[in-house]
Amino acid sequence: MKLRSLKKWCALAALLCLHPAVGSLYYAGHLADRYYVPADSTLELHCALPVTAAQGGSDAALRLYGIFPIKQVAVEPAEEIRLIPGGAPFGVRMLMDGVMVIGFGTVETPDGSACPALEAGLQEGDVIRCADHVPLAGTAAFREAVARGEPLLLTVERDGTLHELPLTPVFSRSDGWCTGLWVRDSTAGIGTITFYDPETGDFGGLGHPICDPDTGERIPLGHGTADSVTISGAVRGRAGEPGALQGYFAADAPLGTLTGNCESGIFGTLDTPPEGEAVPMAFKQEIRLGDAQILSTVYGTQPQSYDVRITAIDYTDDTRNMILEVTDKDLLALTGGIVQGMSGSPILQDGKLVGAVTHVFVGEPAMGYGIFAETMYGQSRS
């Protein structure tokens, strides 16, 4: 697998060297269109081939070998951002903003089988926000509205757009008034804290959203808490079988409050600042291929540092920005590589916070994806 990958990159490098026009087109599609640059600094890019940036005002002209035009990019000055790296596990308890449709069933009525929910046009992944313009606080509130046996006007969110759908329950001799809907209003899980911002008290974790296990849709956060967790062990990952951290929620008071379940992670505030010194956050162009470290907790409550290697960087994907390879013998022996629950483990390189672990390669557990810290931090402030 690694030999094939090496041959592919060598062939690509040779092609780009021989044909500068191909190289320019390649980098035009694979380099970002906007960069943040520390004050009093100029834009520098880490690429396989020399790419220069001729900066003028708020723009920079990228050129291959300093000669062949690639494209114009936006450059914005930014102050140094210092964050406390995480690595500690935390529990997520989320109550949705409404109820999510996760499936359908058939209702047996005196007149035969029916499914009013499907007839109304509802779909898996829909989030029902209101019934008759009254916000739904959870599944119990939805059941109470259905139990009245009267037609309902549902306010439904689908793909970010609100729709109004009429739903009329039918009567079942065994179950009373029914709609044929399966719904969910809450979820819980374990992840890893990526960073804490000492200036605001905010934290970010996971590096990806929490999604419903049945529909795959991002769960809309009504309110939730970040809770203390103790990791008791790990199921080792194997090719085709992702591993997982095992742990339990502690009886302590919550660590903090959740404020967002977003594409780049879970965000919230912590009641007590974590231990540790703040380090600079790397902007995406400062990250390089090569050795790095992750902070993760695979037993107990204290994070440990493990060696990884950044093998690829993608500036164009919204969240899967880096490919990581675990090289640490201790971590490979304990977990087989990256396992579920390690999502959010901070990645450090050259003394800077560069990103977070997000996903494992199912077929190769020593490999996984990472997200830029710049992306997570930006979403935490929006």
Asked about 223 being catalytic, the answer comes back as no
Nearest C-alpha neighbor of 162 from the set 79, 104, 111, 220:
220
Catalytic residue among 126, 197, 202, 328: 328
Based on DSSP, count helices (H) and strands (E) in the chain, helices before strands.
Answer: 6, 28
Catalytic residue among 24, 97, 202, 208: 208
For residues 108 and 203, give the distance between their C-alpha atoms in angstroms, rounded to a whole number: 49
Give every CB contact of residue 7 below 8 A, 6+ residues apart in sequence. Answer: none
Give me 97's structure tokens.
């903003």
Give me 110's structure tokens.
């005196």
Residue 272 is given by DSSP the state S
Asked about 208 being catalytic, the answer comes back as yes
What's the sign of the alpha-carbon dihedral 370, 372, 376, 379?
negative
Asked about 343 being catalytic, the answer comes back as yes
Place of tokens 């380099």: 31
Nearest C-alpha neighbor of 89 from the set 198, 199, 226, 211:
226
For residues 275 and 355, give the distance between their C-alpha atoms in angstroms, rounded to a whole number: 19
Phi-psi region of 243 (alpha: psi -120 to 50; beta: other; left: phi over 0): beta
Compute CA distances 315 → 277, 323, 377, whole Å: 28, 12, 16
Nearest C-alpha neighbor of 91 from the set 193, 203, 226, 208:
226
Where in the sequence numbering do the catalytic residues fall?
208, 328, 343
